[in-house]
Structure 1
Amino acid sequence: MPKIQAATVAEHRARQRAAILDAARSILAEGGSQAPSLAAVAARTGLARPSVYQYFKSRTDLLDAVIVDLLPRWSTYVTQRMRRAATPGDRVLAYVAANLRLVAKGEHPVFRGLSASASPEALAEPSRRLHEQLRAPLVEALAEHGAPDPAGTAELIQAIVYTASHMIESGVGEAKARSLARGLLEPYLRQPTG
């Protein structure tokens, strides 16, 4: 029987599961159109392949777990950054900066890897929920700012985030992409509208 690496068996299992998910995310972030095999994930974590099967029955089961883990973490990160901002305009800028930070840290390639390898059905509902979870505080901040059409303005801001994300993934530094986005948005956000 393998030796546990934590104070309790439950804690050991939680750490092992987290390591497996981290390895799968890492492989997805590296690109490629194929989902990571359980053998590749096992090798990345230093576990025997049968050990990975104790946590995940199949590659599909593993990808579903990555989806369940990734999308709420993204939403939590962005909303926490927005809550720290003092004004509605600052919350919008925090939204942009937080999303670009996650892209720069490699989370977006994981999402793209999931899109290429997970079933569309498995990804559709969590993606829709993530979009709504992110959209709601952005629309709220824009409404507080005085935007005449907060939902429409949120879609335009999301288009800026999308373009800046592609710039980062194409080699433009995060700071440069964030500066360009901020340069477009700041004049609007520093003046009350209405």
Structure 2
Amino acid sequence: MTSAPRTARGARTRAALLEAAEHVFAELGYADASVVRITERAGVAQGTFYLYFDSKLDLFDELVDDLNRRVRRAMSEASAAAPDRLSAERAGFRAFFAFTAEHPALYRIIRAAEFVSPRALHRHYDRIVEGYAEGLAEAQRHGEVRPDLDPDVAAWALMGIGELVGMRWVLWERDAEGGVPDHVLDQVALLVDGAIGRRTAPATTREENGS
């Protein structure tokens, strides 16, 4: 970014450019999106663009970071008040699905980043996994997550579940209000509980061991 906004008006202009870019990149793809199209959609002069961004790529990278901040905040706020880890997982998944329902461009933009800006792509996933793994490790210390689980590997795997379920029931079925249908969310929660839930030995095994 060339310079940070120094006024409320500048912050609004920059936000308008990011919002316009979200739609233009999603509709046209990175190659066909242009600064002219973005500024036209934002309702600002083309020269104004360069007060906030050095180039189209600079704007794209910032858009990836902006979407990342917003989706992480939505998930974190939703799960913060949960009484246990499984409830937190369910709330976090619901928030992610709701965010992608409101911002379906997230999928196309992140996929474009694989070719346009791999560093932005890696940064996006790494930031999500970092906080996710920390939460799992904390729950593990409190006995809510199975002790043999690697929080980092689990975070990547669970993130993959969320991304593909969201693609299927949010991106492909735009009639899902606020995310995915409840029965789908129930199945996701069931899978998550089966994957990370703390295990107790079956009664038969305990009896055989004389305990």
Structure 2 length as normaliser, TM-score? 0.73
Q: Which residue of 2 aligns with 1:183?
A: 187
Equivalent positions of 1:118-137 (< 5 A) are 118-137=116-135
Number of the residue aligned with 1:165: 166
Contact 1:139 1:154 in 2 (8 A): no
Q: Per-residue CA shift, 1:146-173, capped at 9, x if unaligned?
A: 3242525444433321221121212162
Distance 2:111 2:192 in 1: 35
Alpha-carbon shift at residue 42 of structure 1 (Å): 0.6
Match of 2:27 among 27, 30, 45: 30
SS at structure 2 position matched to 1:183: helix
Q: CA 1:113–1:30 in 2, change beyond 3 Å: closer, same or farther?
A: farther
Aligned to 2:86: 89
Structure-2 change in CA distance of 1:182 and 1:97 (3 Å): same
Q: Distance in 1 between matches of 2:115 and 2:128?
A: 19
Q: CA deviation at 1:76?
A: 1.5
Whole-Å separation in 2 of the counterparts to 1:11 and 1:143? 44
Contiguous gaps of at least 5 residues in structure 1 = 1-8
Aligned partners of 2:140, 2:172: CA distance in 1, in Å?
29
Give, as a single letter, the amino acid of the residue that structure 1 aligns with 2:146.
A
Separation of aligned partners in 2, 1:192 and 1:30:
44
In angstroms, what is the RMSD of aligned CA positions? 3.0
* Partner in structure 1 of residue 146 of structure 2: 147
User: Which consecutive unaligned segments of at least 5 residues does structure 2 have?
Assistant: 1-5, 201-211
TM-score, normalised to structure 1, is 0.78
Contact 2:114–2:121 (8 Å) recurs in 1: no
What's the CA shift for 1:55? 1.7
* Aligned equivalent of 2:97: 100
For 1:163 and 1:123, the matched residues in 2 are separated by: 17
Give 1:186 deviation, angstroms. Answer: 3.7
Distance across 1 between alignment mates of 2:112 and 2:33: 10
Which of the numbers 51, 55, 60 marks the counterpart of 1:58? 55
CA drift at 1:35: 6.1
Does the CA-based 8 Å contact 1:78-1:98 persist in structure 2?
Answer: yes
Aligned length: 186
Deviations 1:58-85 (A, max 9, x none): 1122112212322122211111111021
Contact persistence 2:29–2:112 (CA under 8 A): no
State the AA in 2 paired with 1:81. Answer: A
In our comparison, the structure showing a higher alpha carbon Rg is 2
The CA distance in 2 between the partners of 1:116 and 1:154, in whole Å, is 20
Give the letter for the 2:165 counterpart. A
Q: Distance in 1 between the 2:189 and 2:13 partners?
A: 43
Q: Find the counterpart in structure 1 of residue 209 from structure 2.
A: none
- Which among 11, 21, 30 is matched to residue 8 of structure 2? 11
User: 2:79–2:92: 8 Å Cα contact kept in structure 1?
Assistant: yes
